[in-house]
Amino acid sequence: QLTDGKGRCSCIGKGSDVIQQKHFGKIEVIPKSSSCEYVEIIATLKLTGEQICLNPDSKWVQKMMRAIIKKRSSRSTRQ
């Protein structure tokens, strides 16, 4: 799934289209850059710390990202 880091992109191939959101702790979104011409989304699994590439073109992944960010973060009440 992930390259050994020497290559320019972190992910090999498109990545997973679907993943259970409850399994991962953090998601990294790496915009296109001079070192990698693909947007890359990497989820880190809570239990194992394993990193899994997600497919940025997957409707499901896009929907999940929006859902996570939109979840009433109730921080608006926090100063």
Question: Would you state the structure tokens that stand for residue 63, as one six-digit string?
Answer: 């929907």
29: three-class secondary structure by DSSP: strand
Q: How many residues bind its own copies (CB under 8 A)?
A: 34
According to DSSP, residue 6 is labeled S
CB of 18 to its own copies, least distance (A): 15
Is 2 a binding residue for its own copies by CB under 8 A? The answer is no
Residue 43 CA from chain centroid, whole number: 4
Q: By the criterion CB under 8 A, which residues form the site for its own copies? A: 13-14, 21, 24-33, 37-39, 41, 55-57, 61-62, 65-66, 68-71, 73-76, 78-79
